[in-house]
């Protein structure tokens, strides 16, 4: 058991270190953009938008990667999660990041992290098909890694508590179960994240595939307003959910530090 725990902890630390490294790198690009805006340096508009694309994508990706590690670590104390899935997420994340970097710097994609339809397919010559496809597929792989973890979390929660509804504590709210028997706050927060992020990734994946199809077959069209709404549903839900994943650490660490358990109740 001690060996399993040590392996799990090393995997989590590795994931947090990767996220920290990405954040630091994105800060560098953020400073470069500020220096250009301030007239200190001039990389030109093409490079500026490449930096902007990478900065936005990288910051969101790193925040999600770190927050997932926090959620996974504490949730694993209550349900049985797969370390293989956790490692798969890291591998897919790294492959996706490499493809995103190649798509931006080697193949000139600079359509911003929002990749608003139909911009990836209509660049006015700023980038080609290869750049857009490489970036979008890389972004999809990052999302795929996260979705695999969410599915595993859902599986573990359902296996122990019976359903996602019970993982949220709805049977406590309905009076079928006493507050003393409510799932831990970590389980409640994780269940919520599983539900909303699955919806977000489905939204984002839909837009990514619509963009890919349009790039390959320009005759294919998609409603731009629907694409925009799906894109921002994906991005904003994903970004906001990092708060709920990260706050799990507060529930757990504060309770342990004070010796007072953070108990779930109907209001929570």
Long-range contacts made by residues 210-218, C-beta under 8 angstroms, separation at least 24?
210/117, 211/115, 211/117, 211/118, 211/120, 211/121, 211/132, 211/136, 212/133, 212/136, 212/137, 214/117, 214/118, 214/120, 214/121, 215/120, 215/121, 215/129, 215/132, 215/133, 215/136, 216/129, 216/133, 218/121
pLDDT per position as a tens digit, 69-105: 999 999 999 999 999 999 999 999 999 999 999 999 9
Return the pLDDT at 267. 80
Return the pLDDT at 169. 93
Return the pLDDT at 262. 79
Instruction: Using 50 as the pLDDT threshold, list the residues of the chain that sit under it.
Output: 1-2
Return the pLDDT at 1. 47
pTM score over 0.85: yes
């Amino acid at each position: 058991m001690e060996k399993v725990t040590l392996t799990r902890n090393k995997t989590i630390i590795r994931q947090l270190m990767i996220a920290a490294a990405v954040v630091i790198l994105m800060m560098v690009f953020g400073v470069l953009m500020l220096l250009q805006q301030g007239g200190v340096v001039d990389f030109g508009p093409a490079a500026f938008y490449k930096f902007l694309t990478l900065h936005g994508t990288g910051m969101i990706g790193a925040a999600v990667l770190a927050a997932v590690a926090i959620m996974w670590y504490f949730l694993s104390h209550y349900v049985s999660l797969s370390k293989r899935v956790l490692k798969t997420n890291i591998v897919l994340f790294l492959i996706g990041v490499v493809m995103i970097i190649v798509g931006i710097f080697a193949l000139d994609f600079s359509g911003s992290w929002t990749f608003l339809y139909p911009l990836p397919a209509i660049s006015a010559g700023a980038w080609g098909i290869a750049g857009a496809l490489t970036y979008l597929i890389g972004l999809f792989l990052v999302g795929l890694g996260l979705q695999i973890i969410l599915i595993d979390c859902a599986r573990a929660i359902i296996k122990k508590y019976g359903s996602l509804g019970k993982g949220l504590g709805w049977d406590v709210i309905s009076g079928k179960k006493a507050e003393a028997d409510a799932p831990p706050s970590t389980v409640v927060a994780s269940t919520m994240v599983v539900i909303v992020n699955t919806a977000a990734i489905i939204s984002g994946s839909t837009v990514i595939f619509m963009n890919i199809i349009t790039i390959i077959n320009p005759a294919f069209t998609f409603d731009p307003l629907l694409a925009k709404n799906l894109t921002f549903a994906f991005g904003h839900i994903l970004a906001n959910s990092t708060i709920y994943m990260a706050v799990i650490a507060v529930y757990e660490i504060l309770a342990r530090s004070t010796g007072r358990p953070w108990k779930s109740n109907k209001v929570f």
